[in-house]
Amino acid sequence: MKQSTKLQQLPTQFFAALAQKVSAAIAEGRDIINLGQGNPDRPTPPHIIKALQSAAEDPISHKYPPFQGVQELREAAANFYKREYNVDIDPTTEVAILGGAKVGLVELPMAILNPGDYMLLPDPGYPDYLSGAVLADVHFDTMPLVDKNEFLPDYDALSDEVKNRAKLMYLNYPNNPTGGTANLAFFEETVQFAKDHDIAIVHDFAYGALGFDGERPVSFLQAEGAKDVGIEFYTLSKTYNMAGWRVGFAVGNADIIAAINLIQDHLFCSLFPAVQHAAVAALDGDQACVEEQRAIYESRRNVLIEEAHRIGWNVEAPKGSFFAWLKVPDGYTSEEFADLLLEKANVAVAAGNGFGEFGEGYVRVGLLVNEERMKEAIGRIERLGIFKTESISVK
């Protein structure tokens, strides 16, 4: 039986293709240092696991959960935003519980756009944003994220046609894949831009806990008027090492949240209640584990950048997320360089062109191995003889 036309129109799943390449290399018996993944390498904190175990033993968890999530988790999400960002959230009307933020990001265009509408997407950006556009039968324009603008979109550079036809825009800071960050002034500019052009804003805050050099990432909802125009997605995957648990939430504009809840009423029956109660323990519990995790990623980032500079690889340190966005050497495309590293150095990275046209010329490196393994990866790359031997001074 043939796949539907809709499935055939979906973009190639970039991460699945990358995983297949790495798996094939490992199957050959090679010791691959995988820096191409976005999968947290450390375990979920013990107090969250214990909360899951306790909730799983309660027979009430074995029943269907409320369609829109248990009230305790909705309240925990609201309390989290008040505590962390001083943002007031109504747990009844301004929270949607998600089976991971990806679910919401992909389903949202189907919930608030009509076939033929336009949305704005960052380039480079998370590849699954494109999946939502295809499934909703909508068109999209892209906003280049380039180094000279600190990987922020330049709204003034967009044509009037693009600005006026867009009905939805996605942003993501700290950014995947660039590691760029946004400040409150940028989000305030975004709110005004959205009001001027009647555009709904979605901020993907997946890496909200991961800012470096003493800079705390800013929530889009901290900007005045943000809830008038948009929402923010938050996932527990990165903050609490809960990627496999598939739990997150959206908060913000009540009309958009209602649309998400309605489409999910037809697609899902919420999440296993024990997972939801474990999420409550994560959001309401001791946050020392979050700072510990952030410090580990910053330490790994520092090792990566220092080692890269040591071998003559002129790269910039990311300001947030658990990714580094590294320029490829002259004479290589992103894919050629990524393939070379995998085949000759047994180091896997993600080719930048997989994230969009403006990802060409870069590779994405995950800060998801320990310092010694990171040093070994750069040492293997050094032995390829691509970079100049003289080191680069760290700014």
Q: What percent of the chain clears pLDDT 70, i.e. is strictly above it?
A: 98
What is the rounded average pLDDT of the residues 364-382?
Answer: 97
244 shares its domain with 124:
yes
CATH code, domain carrying 374? 3.90.1150.10
Structure tokens at 118: 């336009």
pLDDT of 388 > 60? The answer is yes
Q: Residue 391: inside a domain, yes or no? A: no
Q: Residue 56: inside a domain, yes or no? A: no
Q: Could you tell me the pTM of the whole model?
A: 0.95
Structure tokens at 363: 């590779």
What is the rounded average pLDDT of the residues 163-173?
Answer: 98
266 shares its domain with 165:
yes
231 shares its domain with 248:
yes
CB 280 within 8 A of CB 74: no
Domain total for the chain? 2
Q: Residue 279: inside a domain, yes or no? A: yes
Domain extent at residue 334: 5-44+288-382
- Please, how many CA atoms are within 13 Å of residue 335, restricted to the half-sphere of its CB? 9
pLDDT of 271 > 70? The answer is yes
Mean pLDDT estimate for the chain = 95
Instruction: Quickly tell me which residue has 């191995």 as its tokens.
Output: 369
What confidence score (pLDDT) does residue 395 get?
Answer: 43
251 shares its domain with 192:
yes
Q: How confident is the model at residue 392 (pLDDT cuts 50, 70, 90)?
A: low
Structure tokens at 307: 């080692």
pLDDT digits (tens, 9 = 90+) for 86-130: 999 999 999 999 999 999 999 999 999 999 999 999 999 999 999
- Strands in the chain per DSSP E: 33-34, 95-98, 118-123, 139-144, 166-171, 200-204, 230-235, 248-252, 323-327, 347-348, 350-351, 362-366
Question: Taking every pair of C-alpha atoms in the chain, what is the biggest distance, in angstroms?
Answer: 64
